[in-house]
Structure 1
């Protein structure tokens, strides 16, 4: 039989996961990335201006147990878990330092089968790209969909046009399957569903930065203040991934630089926030407005094209599931679209499995995101009381938000299940 071909538009984490998964299923895969290299910087849901897959490096990504199990099917889950900096606990705080609640990685393992791993996006992208055949990834290749094709007609493949070919001329490729992982402002989505509402501004913007660890000890935390929050998470290489959000009008930029803007907003908050900002390179602070899906799309596919990740279900970062759901999409799509499968039926099944789940996560993340935008003193005081009280009565408060999400398991036995005799990742050996 002729080997089936797939084109993946977008070289971010979702696109590369799809490429690796399809390659392992026997597809001949080409990844088209418009940027000059695979250097991710925007966390899922925050593309840099102009959209696209890869962006300049400088951000982390959280991978909950559901995403780790999906990556286990590609035999890369253990390598991802090795990127984690182990911390037994994390905290939810107020700007002055008062602790409202505590999170426990051991409790996450008991509840979901594994802890949340926070990795540097560049390392994860490099890990995935290394699993692809040489020459499978083409950079400086801005792709647009010319024809979605017809999965019921062998003589009508999907057609993709590439701008930025080596000789400067346009190039056209055909494929049995196109996977659109081209980000929140997906041009492919607009082509497939021209009347569908564009993602809408979620009411807050986000900053992300990676800096050296402070000299004084600290505990991983997320701190909630009026109209925004700050998070600090260690990386395995000794650096720190920090993120912040604030309820501001869309499209804003600091008059001087974004580090100065963060200092004005968060510079008086508890340790280690001032120390991290003091160590930050102003040029390396990423700022992007946060968007969320305005409505569920008619489908996650049309013709021979499957939409994936932010291209079809952008979400706020408040559950840490943007990248995780893209990884799930990729693994499910590859499992359904076996080389000998009927493609039309496979893509219909992909929509049926992924649309309800991901849109539920979109709505749940958005509800939490709205809580972070509360600004008035009475509202923030009420929020703090509710969080502290609930944490006392239900210590797993922060984890319960992920019920039905982080406990997801991919189709088939995972590598971790075969290797360890369990269906889930375990604690590091020193904590077993």
Structure 2
């Protein structure tokens, strides 16, 4: 297959327009292609050539008869039309990073017969500049990872992806140039950064890319023999499979995570969290007995964990009593037991810290869902407004997706006053509400 013809840069005024930025944010490629045609003078045949598509497919997308969902195709469109990656929720594209064209000057030929090959990219240059890795390097990198997780919790993981992926590449380069005992610590950092990158793409609902990074984290932790961290990564993959509509896979991954964690000795807090992941999968499969059993095991191991909290890995300490309560409620809501779910989720929401914006938004959505399941329309719309207000403060497509899903469930009540008020609030906060397709 021949290379597509080179793209010219899109007009700056187009990239700066609010209509363009909103279309990219929503990945509304029908609107994107129409704007490219009108504002940049690129007709469907040219767009097709640049993006590696057929003209008929481009025409169907522009007419709204087809959509783009696969990450590989979206990246091809970004590269073909020269759309900055951040506009589409992607990492920086290779063509956005300046190429160093004079690196051979680092070793002038007149002074020595030895030459230094040009650096392959920014990561290589940074590694050359840094030299040997020190304990200070590791401390700084660990501090960055901790800060990323705090920002993920408060503001969502989607906007962190370019920075996290950049850090992952940098640490991977350091691993290749370090022959000391610090390499083991760098491998642990790389595994954590790969998991964080996977989580960011998961939060952005780009599941195939998330799975790629989770797999990388799994391989890195396997290579180090860190079975507990492997269980951690498997638990993330289980949760993603639940969201991605694959509850059988989610159950398999949760059970495998439990087996992997058991091989590391007694870790009751880790097992409590993993039993809850299992409960989510059983609930999605509508297996009530198994779901209740998994919830019971999660509660029992959590109580046993209270005497061993100092021995639990740092990455699982978020799973406290509040999280146990609210996750129990969510599992019951997934199962359809809304009457028991509602007070648990409400209590968890009451206890949660204000700074945990994304978590509170999720839990407000699940509270609204449990209330709607019981026919409490006023209460449900009130809780959904809280989820909506919180969603406006975080950059998390998962949260926004939940809000839109809830709105679609309100379709049978579209003429009721609480729903009309909620839709008005939704228009003010997120833009025009989307109606379910007939």
Common fold by TM > 0.5? no
More helix by proportion, 1 or 2? 2
Scaled by the length of structure 1, what TM-score is found?
0.24
- Which is higher, the Rg of structure 1 or of structure 2? 2
